[in-house]
């Protein structure tokens, strides 16, 4: 099983602010998210599940929570820890960890690949994408996009692969 992370962060590493994204919607980032993750199951923290901006996979999702009776909508399965969620996915070709900060922190040491959208701006927020050891990863690709009518901020798609 390949473990991939996918996140969007600002230049000051913000990924969330009061349970919302810190920046106005970037439609091309949503499109990239669904293109990259297509056909794969997703793992998220309970707080990310609870956000209005919640993203999910059509083929299955795990929500990590310590609350044994936490009610979940159809298409979502409770997991008691990241390890528990990964155990459920062990026969999958690839699984995506989609946030938030707490879950990224736990998953980063296990990540084979990191898809990072860098939003070119400085934003206020209360959730970060953790620093990760750049020497452990190779930047495989980078695509840069300018602002346009639909995108108030320039952004870049970065793909890091772990150097084995």
Ligand X SMILES: NC(=O)c1ccc[n+]([C@@H]2O[C@H](COP(=O)([O-])OP(=O)(O)OC[C@H]3O[C@@H](n4cnc5c(N)ncnc54)[C@H](OP(=O)(O)O)[C@@H]3O)[C@@H](O)[C@H]2O)c1
Q: Which positions touch ligand X (CB under 6 A)? A: 7-8, 15-16, 19-21, 45-48, 51, 53, 64-67, 70, 80-81, 98-103, 127
Between residues 5 and 137, which has the closer beta carbon with respect to ligand X? 5
Minimum gap (Å) between residue 94 Cβ and ligand X = 18
Rounded to whole angstroms, the Cα distance separating 49 from 62 reads 9
DSSP 67-107: -TT----TTEEEESSHHHHHHHTTTSSEEEE---HHHHHHH
Between residues 35 and 66, which has the closer beta carbon with respect to ligand X? 66
Between residues 35 and 164, which has the closer beta carbon with respect to ligand X? 35
Minimum gap (Å) between residue 5 Cβ and ligand X = 9
Between residues 35 and 135, which has the closer beta carbon with respect to ligand X? 35
Cβ–Cβ under 8 Å, residues 156 and 146: no
CA torsion through residues 102, 141, 40, 91, sign? negative
Minimum gap (Å) between residue 108 Cβ and ligand X = 12
Minimum gap (Å) between residue 69 Cβ and ligand X = 11
Q: List phi, psi (to 5°) of 24.
A: -65, 150
């Amino acid at each position: 099983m390949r473990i991939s992370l996918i996140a969007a962060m600002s230049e000051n590493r913000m990924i969330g602010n009061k349970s919302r994204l810190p920046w106005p919607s970037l439609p091309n980032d949503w499109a990239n998210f669904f293109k990259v993750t297509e056909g794969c199951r997703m793992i998220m923290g309970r707080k990310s599940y609870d956000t209005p901006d919640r993203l999910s996979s059509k083929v299955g999702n795990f929500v990590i929570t310590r609350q044994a009776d936490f009610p979940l909508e159809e298409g979502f399965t409770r997991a008691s820890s990241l390890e528990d969620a990964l155990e459920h996915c062990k026969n999958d070709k690839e699984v995506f960890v989609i946030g938030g900060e707490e879950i990224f922190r736990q998953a980063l040491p296990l990540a084979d690949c990191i898809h990072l959208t860098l939003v070119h701006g400085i934003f206020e927020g209360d959730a970060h994408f953790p620093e990760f050891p750049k020497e452990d990863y190779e930047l495989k690709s980078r695509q840069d996009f300018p602002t346009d009518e639909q995108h108030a901020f320039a952004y870049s798609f970065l793909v890091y692969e772990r150097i084995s």
